[in-house]
A and B are shown apart, each in its own frame.
Chain A
Amino acid sequence: MSQPEHWQEKILQLTYEKQQLEQFRQLNELLSNGLDAILSSERHDELFTKLFEAIIKVIDYDSILILQLSEDQSSVQLLASAPVLSATSQIACDTASMLFQQDLNLFNLSMLPWWQQNLLPFTVGYQSALTYPLHTPQSSYALILLSRRTGAFSANSATILRSFSTFIASTLSQLEKRLLVEERDTLRAQQHRIEQSLLRQEKMAAIGQLAAGVAHELNNPLGFIYCNLNTLRHYLEQYDSFIRHSLTDHPTLSARATELQLDYIRQESLDMIEESLAGARRARDIINNLRTFSHPDEKTLHDIDLCSLLRDTLRIAQTQVKHNARLQLNLPDTPAMLRGNATQLSQVLLNLLMNANQAVPAGKGEIQLTLTQSAAQWQLLVADNGCGIPQSAVPHIFEPFFTTKPIGQGTGLGLSLSRAISEQHGGSLVLVNTSENGSCFELRLPVLEGR
């Protein structure tokens, strides 16, 4: 062989070998970039985005997705994709199970009825696919690279993907670990809240008993005060009448009366008695409310006027709300009668009010309660101008022990108990809307039959 021939042939051979070695370089690059992706990603979606970016540097694809096999192996769900796909519903996997068993280099997807039947929502518009099954201790996945060209993926691409598969499986395993850790933390937080709730309930039970005792003890002296004040007012009126007649009959006493400021004393005494009576009435109402709330296990049902119940509850809430928000109560002119347990329904109303109060801006809150009759139900809308509920939290707000408040500042039971109570009364409790401009809850309760 002549020297030029020899060198030309050598160049050809080295070029060919270089292409093969390039494959290893690409794989190394993939591993390196993939590792960076794992180490630098805080969120799952970010991790997948970086991983997909690493893969496209070495394998040319138009779309990539990871499908996850359900625990009972009956369906598959989209875990991640680039570009992001909106198809998130589960699909049956009876025939698609092949994806989770072997790697496939498919040159024309339209030739596969099982693919068209099961996977079209994810792959419409794509001609060819390179797939690889991934298995972790927790689950099975299928990595799918798609192209709009027929037979787009070479055996080299398949080899690179195969070589990279263990790495991707490890990444998914890491992801599962993170999810388990998050789940564990959530459970721990829930446990903490349950313990706190139990503690609080014990305290509340003790306070309730104490309140019941105090209310009982206070009720009798308060009765004396109230009764005596009324009698005293009557006596004072008698005195007043006598003084006025005496002054008419004996004008000489006028100077002495003026000197003693009897007019002033008389008016002041009447005002003081009226104020004392008002205070006594208020004290009586507070004691009555305390007695109502100190019987949490009471299950008896009575005919209740929801308007009165709302007013009573507002009175209790007022101490916390009055400096924070303005309360607007829109009630019907006639009593809103229903059959229910006043204690439990008060708890529901108080809960909705307190939640609204905590959501509104301090000092600038607006809480509106509107009660109307809608067919055979009372509809109470509790609307506030607060910060709203995050969209991610909306699906969970009625779950027991779910709360957006920091640990120690909420039991996470309020809304779940409220919904349970309203449903026990044949009604419902729903979130009507929420946004950054506020939230609105709707409580529905059946109108008392016969009305």
Chain B
Amino acid sequence: MFTLLHVDASDPGALNQNLQNALGDGPANLIIATGNIDSIQALSGLAAPASFSQNWIGCSSCLGGASSLGLDQSTDKRLTLLTLTDPAGSYGVASVVQQPGSIQQQAGETVLAAITAAGRQAELPALIWCMQAPGFEEQIIAGIQQVVGAQVPIFGGSAGDNDVSGQWCLFDGKQVHGQLMVIAVLYPSVPISQYFSSGYSHLATCGTVTSAATRRIIAIDHQPAVDVYNQCRQQAGLLPVGTGNVLGQTTFNPMGRDILTDDLTFSVLTHPLEVHQDGSIELLSDIEVGDQLYVMQGSKMQLVNRAGHVARVAANMLRLQHDTTPAAAIVIYCAGCMLAVRDEIDQVRQSLMSAMPDTPFLMVFTFGEQGCFADGFNRHGNLMISTVLFGHTQQGPSL
């Protein structure tokens, strides 16, 4: 039912042949694809992608993807594909080129188109999987929820490139494009479970946002944002950040906003991207005036062990809820985290393999992660790790 493939994407002919060899039994119900930019670009050379599946969803992964089969290098021309062949289930994919200003409406229309493509009109999917160009993730989640409500888990990640230069690309089965929003709706015949977490902890209280513009903090406590942020960093014994791209410097100490639920508090991370001359800080997720900010603390060891831990929680859910074990997994791992532990990334992969023995998984390094938090709300976050697990075919207990 689930097949994980490493496919040579060095030229369209080879790619086509490799796919034919791998999917000789007939088209899959869904193909999830990842790889570095060049590999994803190679998909545009496929003569008839629909002959392999009507439903493709793929995006470029920072420096290439990873899987239970191995780890890509940035120079590799290799695609990692997870194919789902599930005739008893239903799957649909739809896409649109993102138009700033209309993102929310586009997301709503696209998810409806995907549901129609799945032939499950008005039926709530078990999972919505989205891959899109970075920049408008909150609006995409809002748009989807406006149409289908807030009860369906929305997971996915934003396409990455190698240097945040905007070279990322996505594939929807018809075209490779840099500004696509691709949404897949899944009605699998097997149970699924998912977990979404960061694992960072508070380091210091930063202040309250007093001036902001979508993804830019202009002022914290009425002072230039970077001044307050650096002050907090210095008090915690960290070096201040300068102007320019600060992604790498802030990976272990991003900002966090507390989410209060009935019986716990957890943080949604926002990763500083760039510090501007005016002292404002550009982020990779939306911020609002009134948000209480903290400087968060992560560590290399934590990021290495984290993915396996997230997978373990999801597997536990699968066992508790559906009395089954994982048959396949999709793992989203923040590209910022990956870059911070690049030398140890194979240990990350090993931790996943240890948490899900004999389970094929595909891993994408993304520039923004979407998922459902412990409070049941779907959110966009940075520096996050998520795992979606598909169980073996087994019905839940009926009493």
Write the residues of chain A forming the contact surface with B, with a CB cutoff of 8 angstroms: 1-2, 4-5, 8-9, 11-13, 15-17, 19-21, 23, 27, 31, 104-109, 111-112, 115, 128, 149-155, 157, 159, 162-167
The verdict on B52 contacting chain A, using a C-beta distance below 8 Å, is no
Docked-complex contact A4 and B122, CB < 8 angstroms: no
Asked, given contacts A12-B374, A111-B122, whether A164 binds B399 with beta carbons under 8 Å apart, the answer is yes
Contact check, A162 vs B396: say whether CB atoms are below 8 A apart. Answer: yes
Q: How far is the CB of A96 from chain B (nearest CB, A)?
A: 14
B residues in contact with A20, CB < 8 Å: 317, 320-321
Q: How far is the CA of A107 from the CA of B126 in the complex (A)?
A: 12
With both chains docked as a complex, state the minimum distance between the C-beta of B126 and any C-beta of chain A, in angstroms: 6
A163–B313 CB distance below 8 A: no
User: In the complex, which of the residues B121, B150, B263 contacts A112, with contact meaning CB atoms closer than 8 Å?
Assistant: B121
In the complex, are the beta carbons of A159 and B396 less than 8 A apart?
yes
> Do the beta carbons of B317 and A166 come within 8 Å of each other?
no
Give Cα A47–Cα B320 distance, bound, in whole angstroms. Answer: 32
Q: Is B208 an interface residue (CB 8 A)?
A: no
- Once A16-B313, A17-B317 are accepted as A-B contacts, the answer to whether A151 and B148 lie under 8 Å apart by CB is yes
Are B126 and A111 within 8 A (Cβ)?
no
B123 / chain A contacts, CB cutoff of 8 Å: 104-107
Chain A residues whose CB sits within 8 angstroms of the CB of B317 once the complex forms: 16-17, 20
A155–B266 CA distance with the chains assembled, in angstroms:
24
Taking A1-B199, A153-B151, A154-B151 as given, write out 11 further A-B residue pairs in contact, using a Cβ cutoff of 8 Å, ordered by the A residue number: A2-B201, A12-B266, A16-B374, A106-B122, A107-B149, A150-B148, A150-B149, A151-B145, A151-B151, A153-B124, A155-B152
Residues of chain A within 8 A of B147, CB atoms compared: 107-108, 150-151
Q: Which of B41-49, B79-87, B299-307, B351-359 contacts A (4 or more CB under 8 A)?
A: B299-307
Which B309-359 residues have C-beta < 8 A from chain A? 309, 313, 316-317, 320-321
Q: Is B201 a contact of A4 with CB atoms below 8 Å?
A: yes
B197 on the A face (CB < 8 A): yes
Q: Which of B123, B152, B200, B309 has the most CB of A within 10 A?
A: B123
Contacts of A16 in B (CB 8 A): 195, 313, 317, 374
Q: Tell me which of A9, A23, A157 contacts B197 (CB under 8 A).
A: A9
Chain A residue at minimal CB-CB distance from B266: A12
Once the chains are docked, how many angstroms separate the CA of A105 from the CA of B148?
11
Chain B 367-399, CB within 8 Å of chain A: the 1/0 string?
A: 000000010100000000000000000001111
Q: List 11 A-B contacts (CB under 8 A).
A: A5-B199, A5-B302, A9-B309, A12-B266, A27-B399, A106-B123, A108-B122, A111-B121, A111-B122, A112-B122, A157-B151
Q: Which residues of the other chain, A, contact B316 by a CB distance below 8 angstroms? A: 17
Report which of A23, A104, A106, A128 forms a contact with B321, defined as CB distance below 8 A: A23
Q: Which residues of B contact A115 (CB under 8 A)?
A: 122
Measured between alpha carbons, how far is A159 from B266 in the docked complex, in Å? 27
Please give the distance in Å from B74's CB to the nearest CB on chain A: 29
Q: Among the listed B150, B305, B374, which residue makes an inter-chain contact with A151, where contact means beta carbons less than 8 Å apart?
A: B150
Q: Considering the chains assembled together, what is the distance between the CA atoms of A92 and B179 in angstroms?
A: 48
A166 B299 Cβ-Cβ under 8 A = no
Smallest distance from the beta carbon of A136 to chain B beta carbons, Å? 15
Q: Within the complex, what minimum Cβ distance (angstroms) separates B371 from chain A?
A: 12
A-B pairs, top 10 by smallest CB distance, nearest first, are: A151-B149, A154-B151, A111-B122, A105-B124, A5-B201, A107-B124, A151-B148, A150-B149, A16-B374, A107-B148
Nearest A-chain residue to B318, judged by Cβ: A20
CA distance A9 to B199 in the complex (A): 6
Check B260 for interface membership: any CB of A closer than 8 A: no
Residue contact B320 to A155, C-beta cutoff 8 Å: no
CB distance from A60 to the nearest CB of B (A): 11
Q: Which residues of B256-276 are within 8 A (CB) of A?
A: 263-264, 266
Inter-chain contacts of A1 with B (CB < 8 A): 199, 299, 301-302, 305
Q: Which residues of A contact B148 (CB under 8 A)?
A: 107-108, 150-151
One of B200, B305, B320 near A21 (C-beta < 8 A):
B320
A106 touches B124 (CB 8 A): yes
B145, B151, B376 interface centre (most CB from chain A within 10 Å): B151
Question: Least Cβ distance of B269 to chain A in Å?
Answer: 13
- Taking CB atoms, residues of chain B closer than 8 Å to A4 are 201
Complex Cα distance, B149 from A109, in Å, reads 13
Q: How far is the CB of B313 from chain A (nearest CB, A)?
A: 5
Q: Are A155 and B151 in contact (CB under 8 A)?
A: yes
**Which single member of A2, A8, A152, A162 contacts B151 (CB below 8 Å)?**
A152
Residues of A contacting B121 in the complex (Cβ-Cβ under 8 angstroms): 111-112
A152–B148 Cα distance when bound, in Å, is 9
Contacting residues, chain A, for B305 (C-beta < 8 A) = 1
**B369 → A minimal CB distance (Å):** 16
Measured CB to CB, the closest approach of chain A to B379, in angstroms, equals 14
B383 shortest CB reach to chain A, Å? 14
Residues in chain B near residue A31, CB distance under 8 A: 399
Binary contact track B115-132/A, C-beta < 8 Å → 1, others 0: 000000111101000000
Contact residues in B for A167 (Cβ distance below 8 Å): 399
Q: Does the CB pair A163–B399 fall under 8 Å? A: yes
Q: Is the CB of B122 within 8 A of A109?
A: yes
